[in-house]
């Protein structure tokens, strides 16, 4: 007991170290009075639904030590990660363990946190703030019911002054108990659409995430406090800027307060002169919006990294009554203007309904993007800020200037946008996840969705990286009522644009038959997915050359993570030939074999390493060839987003960076194809006869606002043994800024003695011989039409199996002995089904 007493005393004294409000702290040194409840001092307990309250868990005496024997937990985090760390469940990421953990989502989970308070809060407001709970919870403090909240993305707070136990010296009488009951997560996404991230799709299994996934804080202010501060800035025609500080202030007192606002503004990542502002304002009880304008004669604008510098400002505001500070707020923002224009080549109202070209500060921002596919872990307790920072750094390393967060994934944490702000990466975002068209129709529930979306955009609108908003993701594709879906999405857009002046598009892709029924046009945008889903219908270059749209929000192909990464989530006895865990982690073994054959003329099944590497190379080559085809359409086409950059658990699906932050080999092909200035070879096919002339054309795409003068292009064609078949240099002259230009037609009779494949290398140099861009490709000796016909036969075989067993999520047909069919491969030593089509010789 002596040790326990010492422990509790240590906890008591550690709880005293936090900022106190209502002081005379100078403005420059000010900070909010916040006490973090984050960390490992939380405890958790499982109860059957409805039984926790019956048992009285919410009334455990605050000074009691009963919760010390509950399981350890961490906030922010999630239930599954807490249980995994406690040894209750096996790692859900490994093998097929996620199936074994499905029981978790059918219970309620109680979280408890004990803390001491020693200071009185006379004439102050004390709130406990939850930044995010997924999805539904009820909260008690010292046995007093604070309230209930539903919705994963909005924060919520409870005033707790009257319920706090406070004592300056007696740590038992100053002990408090915060108790949170997490309800079992909802089981039908349609009922909570827009308020919870969809937990289904073609790279996840039926395990519904939930938990206290964002920080919990005790926030102390005076009676007058900030609810929100928005730096709504405008660039004037003369180049100056006006920063409108829109301050939403609440006076919790019963009488008006004469307040002094002290504000300062200066560059955060660059040197600038500090601008100061001080004014007095009487604030009546209630909530009020107060706006003050700060004029900047020569602002440093925020730019994407390939158009300029991502300059950031910081504004600090202290709210004072006499010499006493009531509240403090600091925001970081950028001064930039986002507009959209119609894409040339498409008729307004005939081909398209929306402008899809984005301009930043008047400059065309060609979007080189990938769908984020995050958060980095669907179980957010496994995610760290270091992961976020590294992944965004990798996106920039891959020459991306944009990340797209689409409607199957949540709005991201503040640090995500902060890192994008700092690195000059723009964000194209579905504001809330609407990966289903089946949304509630009741007006009250629709209002809840709109309100959730407004809260999300208000929390993120100071970030200059946020440049484009969408309402849905394939929402109309799945709606039961196209006209209702369109009306909902348009009203959602009106709600969002009332709070932030950014371009908005209601849905993506908007070219499905349901979207057309809702009145949208033939060429709105395309999800370039059909090569994968209709695998075998076309060789990949025959397919993408059929596409001509103003923007490509998704361009998808799959691959397998590295052997090193596979060993972290696939059991050893299922690694090779592929066992059932491959299918559970969404390896489409037929399509992977087919795309390997398309790219290499071979399924590449000689070993695990050969197959894995080939799948990544095939993904990269298909991405490279498609990206370059789309970029040559600039400015008619204004952006590309690959599907995906990452995915949120270890799978064998879309990402070019795996769940362990390891770039796949495909990453380097994307990096090459996304060079801001790119020398590119336009070709119509990849299979050539020895008797043919090899033909194509040399292009240069330049996304920089910089002209290159007196340029030359070098072409080298090599045999498969490295022998140079031809080498030529072309004087191509000037490469214009912000352009896509064709320079040279190529026709070479060099394939006579090539056996299997040949290689093309390109180099672009300026007038001083300085290398600007390099690129390379390989081609096959073969018959394009014959191989296309062979691919179609394979497609019929694939479709017959999928029609029998189902497509999405069904992987048993890869393991015929497992299904009782003939022709499979079965390891008699391990009693493990092996994938059909991977028999070793």
Q: What is the CATH number of the domain that holds 89?
A: 2.60.120.260
Specify whether 384 is located in the same domain as 474: yes
Q: How high is the pLDDT of residue 832?
A: 66
Q: How high is the pLDDT of residue 8?
A: 40
Least confident of 4-18, 142-156, 495-509: 4-18
In a domain, 51, yes or no: yes
Specify whether 381 is located in the same domain as 463: yes
Helix H or strand E encompassing 420: helix 414-423
- Where does the pLDDT of residue 829 fall: very low under 50, low under 70, confident under 90, or very high at 90 and above? low
Q: How high is the pLDDT of residue 806?
A: 79
In a domain, 641, yes or no: yes
State percent of the chain over pLDDT 70.
94
Kindly state the average pLDDT of the residues 149-170.
93
Specify whether 417 is located in the same domain as 294: no
Specify whether 663 is located in the same domain as 690: no
CA distance 22 to 45: 38
The position carrying tokens 């399981």 is 71
- Where does the pLDDT of residue 64 fall: very low under 50, low under 70, confident under 90, or very high at 90 and above? very high
Q: What distance lies between CA 239 and its chain's CA centroid?
A: 34
Q: How high is the pLDDT of residue 511?
A: 86
In a domain, 572, yes or no: no
pLDDT at 366 > cutoff 90:
yes
Which of 642 and 477 is assigned the larger pLDDT? 642
- Where does the pLDDT of residue 203 fall: very low under 50, low under 70, confident under 90, or very high at 90 and above? confident
Specify whether 504 is located in the same domain as 518: yes
DSSP of 195-230: TS----STT--S----B--S-EEEEEE-SEEEEEEE
Q: How high is the pLDDT of residue 830?
A: 55
Q: How high is the pLDDT of residue 18?
A: 37
Kindly state the average pLDDT of the residues 724-749.
97
Average pLDDT, the chain: 92
776 burial level (CB within 10 Å; 0-12, 13-18, 19+):
middle
- Where does the pLDDT of residue 840 fall: very low under 50, low under 70, confident under 90, or very high at 90 and above? low
pLDDT at 813 > cutoff 90:
no
Q: What is the pLDDT of residues 304-327, one digit of tens each?
A: 999 999 999 999 999 999 989 999
What lies within 8 Å, CB to CB, of 641 at 6+ separation is 367, 369, 370, 371, 402, 404, 428, 552, 553, 554, 555
Helix H or strand E encompassing 598: helix 589-600
Q: What is the CATH number of the domain that holds 457?
A: 3.20.20.80
Give which of 138, 144, 175 is closest to 160, Cα–Cα.
144
- Cβ–Cβ under 8 Å, residues 475 and 190: no
Specify whether 507 is located in the same domain as 448: yes
In a domain, 840, yes or no: no
Domain boundary among 649, 668, 687: 668
Specify whether 284 is located in the same domain as 405: no
Q: Is the dihedral of CA 347, 351, 354, 357 positive or negative?
A: negative
- Cβ–Cβ under 8 Å, residues 229 and 244: no
Domain boundary among 178, 201, 221: 221
Q: How high is the pLDDT of residue 804?
A: 85
- Where does the pLDDT of residue 828 fall: very low under 50, low under 70, confident under 90, or very high at 90 and above? low
Give which of 371, 499, 412 is closest to 132, Cα–Cα.
412
φ, ψ (nearest 5 deg) of residue 749: -95, 85
Least confident of 117-126, 436-445, 647-656, 808-817: 808-817
CB atoms within 10 A of CB 357: 23
Give which of 265, 234, 259, 231 is closest to 247, Cα–Cα.
231
- Cβ–Cβ under 8 Å, residues 763 and 679: yes
- Where does the pLDDT of residue 165 fall: very low under 50, low under 70, confident under 90, or very high at 90 and above? very high
Q: Which residue range(s) make up the domain with 698?
A: 679-784
CB atoms within 10 A of CB 15: 18
CA distance 526 to 404: 15
CA distance 683 to 675: 19
Q: How high is the pLDDT of residue 389?
A: 97
CA distance 689 to 675: 31
Specify whether 257 is located in the same domain as 187: no
Q: What is the CATH number of the domain that holds 286?
A: 2.60.40.10
Q: How high is the pLDDT of residue 19?
A: 36
Number of domains in the chain: 4
Kindly state the average pLDDT of the residues 254-278.
96
- Where does the pLDDT of residue 111 fall: very low under 50, low under 70, confident under 90, or very high at 90 and above? very high
CA distance 298 to 301: 9
Question: Cis bond leading into 375, ω under 30°?
Answer: yes
- Cβ–Cβ under 8 Å, residues 730 and 749: no
Q: How high is the pLDDT of residue 67?
A: 93
In a domain, 806, yes or no: no
pLDDT at 53 > cutoff 70:
yes
φ, ψ (nearest 5 deg) of residue 711: -80, 160
Specify whether 546 is located in the same domain as 503: yes
Q: What distance lies between CA 174 and its chain's CA centroid?
A: 42
pLDDT at 521 > cutoff 90:
yes
- Cβ–Cβ under 8 Å, residues 183 and 136: yes
In a domain, 520, yes or no: yes
Collapse the DSSP code of 543 into the 3-class scheme (helix H, G, I; strand E, B; otherwise coil) and give the result: helix
In a domain, 577, yes or no: no
Collapse the DSSP code of 383 into the 3-class scheme (helix H, G, I; strand E, B; otherwise coil) and give the result: coil
DSSP 8-class letter at 657: B
CA distance 509 to 434: 13
Specify whether 392 is located in the same domain as 309: no
Kindly state the average pLDDT of the residues 353-376.
96
- Cβ–Cβ under 8 Å, residues 207 and 98: yes
pLDDT at 241 > cutoff 70:
yes
pLDDT at 1 > cutoff 50:
no
Which of 511 and 588 is assigned the larger pLDDT? 588
Specify whether 685 is located in the same domain as 640: no
In a domain, 350, yes or no: no
Specify whether 191 is located in the same domain as 133: yes
Q: What distance lies between CA 463 and its chain's CA centroid?
A: 15
pLDDT at 12 > cutoff 60:
no
The β-bridge relationship of strands 687-688 and 832-834 is unpaired
Domain boundary among 784, 809, 835: 784
């Amino acid at each position: 007991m002596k040790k326990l007493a010492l422990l509790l005393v240590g906890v008591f004294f550690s709880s005293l170290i936090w900022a106190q409000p209502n002081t005379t702290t100078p403005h420059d040194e000010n900070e909010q009075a916040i006490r973090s409840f984050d960390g490992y001092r939380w405890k958790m307990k499982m109860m059957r639904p409805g039984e926790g309250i019956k048992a009285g868990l919410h009334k455990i005496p605050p000074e009691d030590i009963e919760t010390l024997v509950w399981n350890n937990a961490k906030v922010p985090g999630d239930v599954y990660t807490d249980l995994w760390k406690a040894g209750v469940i096996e790692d859900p990421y490994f093998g097929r363990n996620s199936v074994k953990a499905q029981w978790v989502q059918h219970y309620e989970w109680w979280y408890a946190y004990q803390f001491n308070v020693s200071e009185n809060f006379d004439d102050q407001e004390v709130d406990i703030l939850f930044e995010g709970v997924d999805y539904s919870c009820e909260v008690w403090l010292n046995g007093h019911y604070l309230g209930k909240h539903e919705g994963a993305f909005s924060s919520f707070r409870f005033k707790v002054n009257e319920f706090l136990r406070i004592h300056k010296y007696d740590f038992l009488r100053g002990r408090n108990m915060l108790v949170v009951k997490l309800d079992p997560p909802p089981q039908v996404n349609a009922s909570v659409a827009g308020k919870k991230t969809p937990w289904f799709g073609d790279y996840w299994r039926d395990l519904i995430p939930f938990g206290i996934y964002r920080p919990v804080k005790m926030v102390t202010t005076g009676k007058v406090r900030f609810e929100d501060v928005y730096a709504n800035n405008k660039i004037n025609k003369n180049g100056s800027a006006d920063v409108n500080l829109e301050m939403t202030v609440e006076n919790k007192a019963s009488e008006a307060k004469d307040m002094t606002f002290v504000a300062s503004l200066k560059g955060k990542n660059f040197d600038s002169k500090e601008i100061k502002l001080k004014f007095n304002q009487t604030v009546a009880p209630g909530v009020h919006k107060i706006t003050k304008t700060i004029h900047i004669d020569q602002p440093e604008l925020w730019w994407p990294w390939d158009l300029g510098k991502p300059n950031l400002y910081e504004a600090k505001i202290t709210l004072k009554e006499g010499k006493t500070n009531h509240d403090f707020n600091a925001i970081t923002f950028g001064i930039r203007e986002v507009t959209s224009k119609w894409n040339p080549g498409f008729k307004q109202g005939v081909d398209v309904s929306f402008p899809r070209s984005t301009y930043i500060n008047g400059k065309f921002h060609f979007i080189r993007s990938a769908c984020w596919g995050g958060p980095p872990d669907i179980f957010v307790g496994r995610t760290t800020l270091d992961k976020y920072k590294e992944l965004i750094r990798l996106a920039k390393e891959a020459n991306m200037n944009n990340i797209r967060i689409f409607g199957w994934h949540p709005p991201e944490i503040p640090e995500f946008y902060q890192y994008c702000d700092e690195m000059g990466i723009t964000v194209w975002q579905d504001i809330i996840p609407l990966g289903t068209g089946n949304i509630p129709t009741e007006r009250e529930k629709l209002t809840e969705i709109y309100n959730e979306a407004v809260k999300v955009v208000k929390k993120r609108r100071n970030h200059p990286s946020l440049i484009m908003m969408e309402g849905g993701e394939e929402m109309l594709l799945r709606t039961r009522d196209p006209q209702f879906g369109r009306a909902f999405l348009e009203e959602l857009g009106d709600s969002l644009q009332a709070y932030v002046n950014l371009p908005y598009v209601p849905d993506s892709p908007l070219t499905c038959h349901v979207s057309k029924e809702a009145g949208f046009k033939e060429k709105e945008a395309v999800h370039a997915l059909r090569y994968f889903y209709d695998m075998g219908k076309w060789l990949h270059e025959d397919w993408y050359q059929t596409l001509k749209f103003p923007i490509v929000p998704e361009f998808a192909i799959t691959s397998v993570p590295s052997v090193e990464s596979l060993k972290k989530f696939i059991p050893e006895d299922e690694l090779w030939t592929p066992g059932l865990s491959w299918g559970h982690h969404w390896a489409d073994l037929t399509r992977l074999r087919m795309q390997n054959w398309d790219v290499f003329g071979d399924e590449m099944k000689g070993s695990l390493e050969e197959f894995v590497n080939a799948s990544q190379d095939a993904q990269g080559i298909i991405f490279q060839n498609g990206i370059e085809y789309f970029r040559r359409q600039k400015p008619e086409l204004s952006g590309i987003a690959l599907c995906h950059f990452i995915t949120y658990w270890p799978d064998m699906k879309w990402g070019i960076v795996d769940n362990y932050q390891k770039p796949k080999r495909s990453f380097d092909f994307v990096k090459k194809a996304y060079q801001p200035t790119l020398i590119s070879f336009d070709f119509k096919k990849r299979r050539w006869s020895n008797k043919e002339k090899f033909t194509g054309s040399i292009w240069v795409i330049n996304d920089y606002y910089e002209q290159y003068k007196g340029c030359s292009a070098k072409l080298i064609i090599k045999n498969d043994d490295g022998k140079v078949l031809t080498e030529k240099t072309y004087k191509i002259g000037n490469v214009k800024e912000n352009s896509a230009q064709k320079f040279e037609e190529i026709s070479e009779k060099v394939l006579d003695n090539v056996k299997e494949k040949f290689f093309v290398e390109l180099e672009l140099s300026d007038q001083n011989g300085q290398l600007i861009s390099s690129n390379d490709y390989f081609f096959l000796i073969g018959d394009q039409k014959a191989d296309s016909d062979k691919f179609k036969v394979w497609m019929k075989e694939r479709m017959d199996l999928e029609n029998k067993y189902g497509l999405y999520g069904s992987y048993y047909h890869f393991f015929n002995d497992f299904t009782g069919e003939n022709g499979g491969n079965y390891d008699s030593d391990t009693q493990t089904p092996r994938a059909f089509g991977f028999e070793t010789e």
